[in-house]
Amino acid sequence: MEYGFVRVASAIPSVKVADCRYNVDNMLPIIEEAARNNVEILTFPELGITSYSCADLFQQQLLLQEAEAGLQRLLEATGEIETIVIVGMPVPYSGTLLNCALVLHRGIIQGIVPKSYLPGYSEFNEERWFTSGKEIPEGAKVTLCGQEIEIRRMQLLRTSSCTFGIEICEDIWGPNPPSIQLALQGAEILFNLSASNELAGKHESLVQMCCQHSTRCLSGYVYSSCGFGESSSDLVFAGNAIIIENGKILKKSKRFCLESQLMISEIDVEHLRHQRMTNTTFSASRNEFLTREVTITNIPQKADRTCNITRKFSPSPFMPLPSQMDSRCEEIFSIQTAGLAKRIMHTGAKSCVLGVSGGLDSTLALLLAVHSFDLLKKERNGIIGVTMPGFGTTGRTYNNALTLMQALGITQREVSIKEACIQHFKDIDHDINLHDVTYENSQARERTQILMDISNQTNGFVLGTGDLSELALGWATYNGDHMSMYGVNASVPKTLVQHLVRWYANNLADERTRATLFDILDTPISPELIPAHDNGEIKQKTEDLVGPYELHDFFLFHFMNNGYAPKKLYFIARNAFEGIYDDATIKKWLTTFIRRFFTQQFKRSCMPDGPKVCSCSLSPRGDWRMPSDASYNLWLTECESL
């Protein structure tokens, strides 16, 4: 598919034990449905043609003959479709029996992968019927349905859109699963044909293990385990179809379902490739553990180029799930607090100075300062909050700033910047009625000078309040609010700042503080550098000027974490914000994001220290190192073509 997505599917068909005809009959409509939905790779459960729980019937020649006849029917059914189908069946080899996965494409068996690790414990005594694939030579040949095929444990299968590998059930439970070697050799998607019974609590462990394995291998993981119809003499099989991408579950089947199920989703292979390229641990492991030769089989699949993805992208990728919001906010707040506390101890600072505007960013910084001082058992009067009313300061933000500082018990200072700025305008011969960038930036620089000088007076340091989103857009005055001694919010995106403040209000604040915090949360985001309307309402709203922060945070997350180009950013943004923003709006602000991200790098090249708390940071000492004069032509040209 386009944009680096590969559509995969995990199927759970209804089966009857040892009834190959019935089982294939139930596979065929699933294959047809997958083909109609342009699935590129479809997998069925372990030993799906015969069913898994045949026990000693596996040693019956009639069952093995019927399994091959069922395979022939599947080959015929797949002869005219592009979908690659992975099925499980017993394969006789030189007087032994192997538990195998077979890869079928357009009527041809493209590969056979035997199971490596056979459980020998009571519930699953596979060693009674099967031989481990480790005990046969790689490349041993068998003939099935008139085709001579090599059997290989370590086998990569390559299509026009991805490289994938296969392991079978117990393989993943071992300390050194075959899939690790396959991933290190280039498998981007791993398929597991399984037959895992249900036990109380086992399902959670299984899902966790698959997710962790996908994360460790930086891969997609498609799991299919048999369900209803398997023998229930001693065990129950609930049916588990799970599709995972780098540890994140994309699709999951319903357990204990009596009908067949087909789970379809798209794995973002481009994302996986980017993660592997930037993860030096993964590449270092490749050199250390590549001890086994892997065979590569090319499958001439004609992938459908139409990308109508079924998965939904979150419009707030920096946000935790609602069920995790409180614990994640507490964790982030603690990381920020620990970073600030260390800086206070290291510098021996007597005070912590910050501008308190009544806006979200300075509010969060103030709350963190209070928490850090409490943690260090320092008196809160060592925190100096400075209000610096200017030409655009409104009564609402000003009063909120004063009320908040009073409620928190810190030292308050007020220094108006109006007269100093008026004198400055006279000094540089600037018309005070011309509300241009000089008018705005002079106020920001005046405020920073005040904070720096007060920190000198009080043997302290200036605490920066700017956030990650502002750094990405360069929405800060160079050597104004851009500068501080420690930028405690530097890795917190704007969309997360409000959640952190709300979390504090709900969990740590007293009643008076809580009311003020909620009013701050309801106040429009603004630098308040332009005089307000006659009725006192804020005239200069940031999101009217640079665009919605939820869009910019979305672009930033995927640009930084996944390396997506504008074309893909636009595509997934349309998916995430469907019904919220139209295409023209998304394109407009995406273009703005790209232009500002490139042109404002010079501000990030000399940004202050600050703790990393989210998945990415723009620190020039850490996550992002880019020349300040890098050209944006490639990216803007692609934006224009959207």
Report whether 365 contacts 343 (CB < 8 A). Answer: no
Q: Same domain for 469 and 549?
A: yes
Let me know if residue 89 belongs to a domain. Answer: yes
- Residue that is last in its domain, among 238, 265, 298: 298
Taking Cα atoms as reference points, which of 520, 529, 260 lies closest to residue 388? 529
Q: Same domain for 359 and 428?
A: yes
Q: What is the 3-state secondary structure of 180-226? A: HHHHHCCCCEEEEEECCCCCCCHHHHHHHHHHHHHHHHCCEEEEEEC
Let me know if residue 306 belongs to a domain. Answer: no
Tell how far CA 374 is from the center of its chain.
34
Q: Same domain for 156 and 34?
A: yes
Residue 387 backbone phi and psi in degrees, to 5: -95, 135
pLDDT score, position 234: 85
Residue 316 tokens read as 């707030």
- Is 68 in a helix, a strand, or coil? helix
Let me know if residue 348 belongs to a domain. Answer: yes
Could you tell me which residues are beta bridge partners of residue 265? 8
pLDDT score, position 39: 96
Let me know if residue 251 belongs to a domain. Answer: yes
- Is 382 in a helix, a strand, or coil? helix
pLDDT score, position 173: 82
Q: Same domain for 370 and 428?
A: yes
pLDDT score, position 550: 95
Q: Same domain for 243 and 330?
A: no
Q: Same domain for 200 and 330?
A: no
pLDDT score, position 129: 94
CB atoms under 10 Å from CB of 106, counted, come to 17
pLDDT score, position 497: 95
CA distance 19 to 563: 49
**How much is the pTM?**
0.90
Q: Same domain for 289 and 326?
A: no
pLDDT score, position 545: 84
Q: Same domain for 292 and 326?
A: no
In this prediction, the residues of the chain whose per-residue pLDDT falls under 70 are 1, 121-123, 288-292, 303-307, 526-542
pLDDT score, position 123: 66
CATH number at residue 348: 3.40.50.620
Let me know if residue 239 belongs to a domain. Answer: yes
The set of catalytic residues is 46, 115, 169
CATH number at residue 224: 3.60.110.10
Q: Same domain for 226 and 369?
A: no
Number of compact structural domains in the chain? 2
Could you tell me which residues are beta bridge partners of residue 10? 43, 263
Let me know if residue 314 belongs to a domain. Answer: no
pLDDT score, position 376: 97
Let me know if residue 156 belongs to a domain. Answer: yes
Range of the domain at 75: 2-298
The per-residue b/e assignment along 355-389, b for 16 or more CB within 10 angstroms, e otherwise, is bbbbbbbbbbbbbbbbbbbeeeebeeebbbbbbbb
Q: Same domain for 464 and 406?
A: yes
Q: Same domain for 200 and 157?
A: yes
Q: Same domain for 54 and 118?
A: yes
Let me know if residue 491 belongs to a domain. Answer: yes
